[in-house]
Amino acid sequence: MPRPSSPLISHDAVVGASLRIIDSEGLDAFSLPRLARELNVQAPSLYHHFQDRADILRTVARAIVLESRVPEPSACRTWVDWFVGISMSFRRAVLNHRNAAPILLEFMPRDVLIWNYELGVQILAEVGVPPDQRILVIDGLDTLTLGASLAEAAKSPARAGQVFANVTADAEPMLAEALAVNTRSAEQLFADSIRSFLRGAVPEVPPDVPAPRALIARYRETRTVAASHGSLTGSGPAEEEDEYERAGRGPRDGRHG
């Protein structure tokens, strides 16, 4: 059947329907015929916006990454808080679409995140991280965040949120003991892993150095202007929530629990 002369569906409708299918039925269930049925069109209609299945999946990967949010300046007491916040936001975006996580391995849209990398380097420079250490931090955080997010997404529904499964005191006594005294959730462990990485990567910069909020605010304003002109490709502004508090580190009152 030939492609219709004018599009019967929108680009965003295709992406949204693709995510619904993958979220509810799994990646293996996703196909162009299945997507066409979801949208109540014939498969050729999909080619108005996309070249093939891979092109759709590439766009789905971008949509997932764009769900992550840059932390609000007010949510960042310290420079470490900012990196924890943006890493956790990415992790949540991935875990909101667990079935789609493998797509990111093949179609990770790093160009979407380039603005965030730039701001990250600016923050590191502002707080005194030496120039030769900045890429180490950015690349290390990128690898840690992506790997941890995909590993958690790959867990079965029964194991979601568990740190380790199938541990028995008889076979693994020390591991079982460590798990018994662990009080952190999987999300809190991830947040503290980011903090631990930063302390080890740049020990010369104290973790309680205040975040450069003015720099972060200027960045957000620049992105807002870019978005209004249709040139923004990175993730959107932060939601009105405190990433630090959601990481289990207490309310924004200066306490460090």
Residue 251 above 80 pLDDT? no
Cα–Cα distance, 226 to 238 (Å, whole number) = 16
Return left, alpha or beta for 115; rule: phi > 0 is left, psi -120 to 50 is alpha, else beta. alpha
Nearest in space to 201 (alpha carbons), one of 105, 257, 135: 135
Yes or no: say if 86 and 188 are a contact pair by the CB < 8 Å rule: no
Yes or no: say if 209 and 78 are a contact pair by the CB < 8 Å rule: yes
- Between 11-25 and 32-39, two packed helices, what is the crossing angle to 10 degrees? 110
- The pLDDT tens digits for 162-193 are 888 788 899 999 999 999 999 999 999 999 99
Kindly state the greatest CA–CA separation across the chain. Answer: 68
Cα–Cα distance, 163 to 151 (Å, whole number) = 11
Residue 6 above 60 pLDDT? no
Local confidence band at 112 (pLDDT 50, 70, 90 cut-offs): confident
Topology of domain 11-50, CATH: Arc Repressor Mutant, subunit A (1.10.10)
Average pLDDT, integer, range 133-137: 97
At the second CATH level, the architecture of 69-249 is Orthogonal Bundle (1.10)
Nearest in space to 91 (alpha carbons), one of 119, 123, 69, 116: 69
Average pLDDT, integer, range 139-155: 94
Query: Which of 130-134, 147-151, 217-221 is least confident?
Result: 217-221
Average pLDDT, integer, range 141-154: 94
Cα–Cα distance, 46 to 60 (Å, whole number) = 14
Local confidence band at 221 (pLDDT 50, 70, 90 cut-offs): confident
Cα–Cα distance, 200 to 232 (Å, whole number) = 33
More confident residue, 47 or 195: 195
- Model confidence, pTM: 0.82
- Assign 109 to helix, strand or coil: coil
Residue spans per domain, the chain: 11-50, 69-249
